[in-house]
Structure 1
Amino acid sequence: MPFTSLRLIRSLEVYPAVDPAVLEQARAVVVLGGGISHDQPEYAADVSSRATLERLRYAAFLYNQHDLPILVTGGNPSGGEAEGWVMKRELESLFNVPVRWLETQSDNTAENAEFSRAILQADGVDTIALVTHAWHMPRAKRVFEQAGFTVVPAPTGFHTVDMKGIMNFIRNAPACTVLTARAQQSIHN
């Protein structure tokens, strides 16, 4: 049911939109990959999934508002081109935003943190604005802090729209799909 699905997913969205004053503490934006769509015929290439595009759009917004350098992170756990390469290409070509650092070896959030730490530590970057979906932020923040970062949560993709009336209590596939996809990603990462 949409009512249940929405309440459960919102229970994970504990970090609010980032406060620009707090964002000033960050020295870089780290964008986590959220999947890619392989071999899309209209592009003749791998492209970012909807989730990754939401994250890239927000990273571009942060770059344009605060001029923070960007690291994209994502390997190729499902084969094909690494998410990091796809993300870099799309940030630069679609959003006209430069990517300073690229991480392409990770297969999960813990590896995103570990490998990003090695890259950024070399440039003396310890405090980051972490971009991922609001529901994913609690776990991602914890993992990046365990890797040694000071994390300014910069969540995106909040679930803000309520369904109205009786439709809120009738089972439907989209409500189940949201929860299933989030649960599977949490298990695998």
Structure 2
Amino acid sequence: MFEHPLDLIHTRLSSGLAVRDWPRYLGECYKALKPGGWVEAQEFSVSIGCEDDSLPPNSMIRRWHEEANRTFTAAGCDLRFDGETLKQQMIDAGFVNCVVLEYRWPMGPWHEEKRLRDAGAFAMMSMLADMEAISLAGMTRYGGWKMDELKVFLKGVKKEWRMKSIKAYWPLYVVYGQKPEDRSKDE
């Protein structure tokens, strides 16, 4: 695969799109790493969380997440990600010292801490700019949505996203593990 074994393999935002088969991918990473090398994945789960009750169960934002996950899954792309599952898959592939770190990425400028408030504002702007492109193909081809209905729905979702009172977030996972120093495990 590579002329020289690698020290680190890092992926970000690959789940469900670039990487659809984590066990296979991790097996390839294991082969490509030198003993003592590390693999790390930084992945969002496209599943909305909320710091409080500001995002009601019947919100358009929650419905959009349900529809996006349903239609992307139908297209063969699961956008829901679980750090503990990936950690176990790393262990199953032979990695040691596996760790999961979970963070909450604000989806809007609501956070008290400036750094996270700025990150949330950027995430919201990105979501507002990209939502239609993310939604159109999947929801019309795999979700049965009509184009005119979808555009009205997305307009409502975007309106909710702009509400500063909603304290929504996406789970962000950092999962990493190490190829053992002992080469006998590779034989």
Same fold per TM (> 0.5)? no
More strand by share: 2
TM-score, reference length from structure 2: 0.28
TM-score, reference length from structure 1: 0.28
* Greater relative contact order (CA < 8 Å, ≥ 6 in sequence): 2
